[in-house]
């Protein structure tokens, strides 16, 4: 084997953008690239509830011995209940099995290898567009990735009829990936009525839904954002859920998420779980424990959970406030183009809707950084820079 026969892979465009941003000396530079929450000061803070839970763990933890491929049983139960709700039929019927994973990405990779074992010919259908990592991640597991229509860039709407028509044709052996809330990259979510239709379709067509929930609580609220997960789970026989605690607990670098599978009954779930555990052992053997310990300490304490919900609301309200603020500022400047879609979309991202030349121009002329698709990270906006940003947008339009 000769490594010198390799040709270089393209660098991650967001990492490249971050480097360029760091090197830029412009006093008003704005980073709308990277998808992490930032406060008004541009910091990604550690939540106070996380600090408290972490201190508690340091004081009480007794061993660092291996945790086993499932990870922490308490975390697994609490994170599944956060997603489905403790009283959901799939929990009461004992049909859910969960493993702790290294982040939401780890959960998706475990899900991908699990799917490959269930059906080596499986096709996974992802939204057009979807999170950039989805395609590479599933292809790396040997799964064919196809797309269903989703975001209408021209009209800033959902191509829901086309999406339904496409999913009507999906085989019962296939998997359909859905974003639970705060769709990355479009910010365009399904309405509850549309989720009802998707749940019925999944049940009629018997395809397996894989729901990626990376932003629970960042859209409308912890329970509101789980409407799709809970509705689909109530109607289908089998389903996969991938959760991430990176954004809503601010635990990015701790790498904690979860992969939950639902079987048609408890026995089917047990068998599927044994396969899931085998898959885990073949990838990373066992998950890291620290992030799970923090989350289970928070969710297991009434007081810390309330503190978390309050801190999550601050992040959510800031994001939604930033959306409205940018739209208002553009209007106040007399910009003719209608940007109101930004205020109604949800989560960390929206497509601004400018072309790649304008993206390049806003970067070189105004030091405003975003990826070529014009996907903007809403948390990078703030009261201090919204006026500058709106003027820069108006200038390149
Ligand atoms: N899914 C989606 C849609 C995401 O946006 C992200 C994070 N960018 C993830 C999964 C993975 O999150 P992480 O691995 O950081 O927990």
User: Would you call 331 a catalytic residue per the annotation?
Assistant: no
Residues of the chain with CATH 3.40.640.10: 66-300
Helix, strand, coil content of the chain in percent (nearest 5) = 50, 15, 35
pLDDT at res. 184: 97
Please tell me the distance between residue 334's alpha carbon and the centre of ligand 1 in angstroms.
Answer: 36
* DSSP state string for 186-209: T--PPPHHHHHHHHHHHHHH-PEE
Closest by CA position to 50, among listed 388, 341, 308: 308
Model pLDDT, residue 15: 85
pTM given for the model: 0.97
Positions of CATH 3.90.1150.10 in the chain: 12-45+304-396
Question: Following CA atoms 107, 139, 250, 325 in sequence, which dihedral angle do they give, to the nearest 10 degrees?
Answer: -130
Q: What's the 3-state SS for 262-331? A: ECCCHHHHHHHHHHHHHHHHHHCCCCCCHHHHHHHHHHCCHHHHHHHHHHHHHHHHHHHHHHHHHHHHHH
Q: Is 125 exposed, middle or buried (0-12, 13-18, 19+ CB in 10 A)?
A: buried
- CATH code given to domain 66-300: 3.40.640.10
* Cβ contact 98:259 at 8 Å: yes
Quote the pLDDT of residue 299.
98
Residue 221 CA to ligand 1 center (angstroms) comes to 18
Q: Which of 195, 212, 225, 308 is catalytic?
A: 212
Give the pLDDT band of residue 167 (cuts 50, 70, 90).
very high
- pLDDT beyond 90 at 359: yes
Verify whether ligand 1 is closer than 6 Å to residue 101 (CB atom).
no
pLDDT in tens, 87-133: 999 999 999 999 999 999 999 999 999 999 999 999 999 999 999 99
pLDDT at res. 2: 83
Residue 395 to residues 20, 333, 334, 351, 358: CA-CA distances in angstroms? Answer: 22, 11, 12, 18, 9
Percent of the chain's residues with pLDDT above 90: 95
Count of other CB atoms within 10 angstroms of residue 208: 24
Mean pLDDT of the chain: 97
* pLDDT tens-digit series, residues 25-62: 999 999 999 899 999 999 999 999 999 999 999 999 99
Alpha carbon of 180 to ligand 1 centroid (Å): 12
Give the model's confidence band at 14: pLDDT under 50 very low, under 70 low, under 90 confident, else very high: confident
* Predicted confidence (pLDDT) at residue 75 exceeds the cutoff of 90: yes
pLDDT of residue 78: 98
Cβ atoms 247, 254 nearer than 8 A: no
What is the arithmetic mean of pLDDT over 336-348?
97
Question: Per-residue pLDDT averaged across 326-342, rounded?
Answer: 97
**What fold does the segment set 12-45+304-396 form as a domain?**
3.90.1150
Active site residue 195: no
Question: Which residue is catalytic, options 31, 125, 131, 189?
Answer: 131
Q: Is it the case that residue 1 has pLDDT exceeding 90? A: no
Name the phi and psi angles at 134, rounded to 5: -55, -50
3-state secondary structure of 40: coil
Q: Return the pLDDT at 10.
A: 81
Nearest to 151 by CA among 346, 368, 393, 322: 346
Average pLDDT for 211-236? 98
């Amino acid at each position: 084997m000769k490594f010198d026969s390799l040709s270089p892979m393209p660098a991650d465009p967001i990492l490249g953008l971050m480097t360029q941003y760091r090197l830029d000396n412009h006093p008003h530079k704005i980073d709308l690239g990277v998808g992490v929450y930032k406060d008004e000061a541009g910091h990604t803070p550690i939540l106070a509830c996380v600090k408290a839970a972490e201190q508690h763990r340091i004081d009480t933890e007794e061993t660092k011995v291996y945790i086993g491929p499932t990870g922490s049983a308490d975390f697994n139960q609490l994170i599944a209940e956060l997603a489905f709700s403790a009283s959901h039929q799939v929990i009461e019927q004992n049909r859910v099995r969960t493993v702790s994973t290294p982040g939401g990405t780890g959960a998706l990779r475990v899900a991908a290898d699990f799917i490959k074992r269930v059906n080596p010919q499986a096709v996974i259908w992802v939204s057009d567009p979807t999170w950039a990592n989805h395609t590479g991640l599933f292809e790396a597991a040997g799964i064919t990735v196809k797309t269903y229509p989703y975001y209408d860039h021209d009209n800033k709407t959902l191509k829901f009829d086309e999406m339904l028509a496409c999913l009507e044709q999906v085989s019962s052996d296939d998997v359909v990936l859905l974003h639970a809330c705060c769709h990355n990259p479009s910010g365009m979510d399904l309405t509850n009525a549309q989720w009802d239709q998707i749940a019925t379709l999944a049940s009629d067509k018997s395809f397996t839904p894989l729901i990626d929930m990376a932003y629970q609580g960042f859209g409308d609220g912890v329970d509101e954002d789980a409407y799709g997960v809970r509705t689909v789970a109530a109607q289908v026989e089998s389903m996969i859920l991938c959760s991430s605690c990176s954004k809503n607990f601010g635990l990015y670098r701790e790498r904690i998420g979860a992969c939950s599978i639902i079987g048609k009954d408890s026995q089917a779930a047990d068998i599927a779980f044994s396969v899931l555990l085998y898959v885990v052992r073949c990838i990373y053997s066992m998950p890291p424990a620290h992030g799970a310990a923090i989350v289970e300490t928070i969710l297991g304490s009434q007081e810390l959970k309330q503190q978390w919900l309050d801190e999550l609301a601050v992040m959510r309200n800031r994001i939604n406030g930033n959306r409205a603020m940018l739209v208002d500022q553009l209007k106040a400047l007399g910009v003719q183009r209608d940007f109101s879609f930004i205020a109604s979309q949800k989560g960390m991202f929206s497509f601004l809707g400018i072309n790649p030349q304008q993206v390049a121009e806003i970067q070189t002329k105004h030091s405003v950084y975003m990826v070529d698709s014009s996907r903007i990270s809403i948390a990078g906006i703030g009261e201090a820079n919204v006026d500058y940003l709106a003027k820069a947008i108006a200038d390149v339009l």
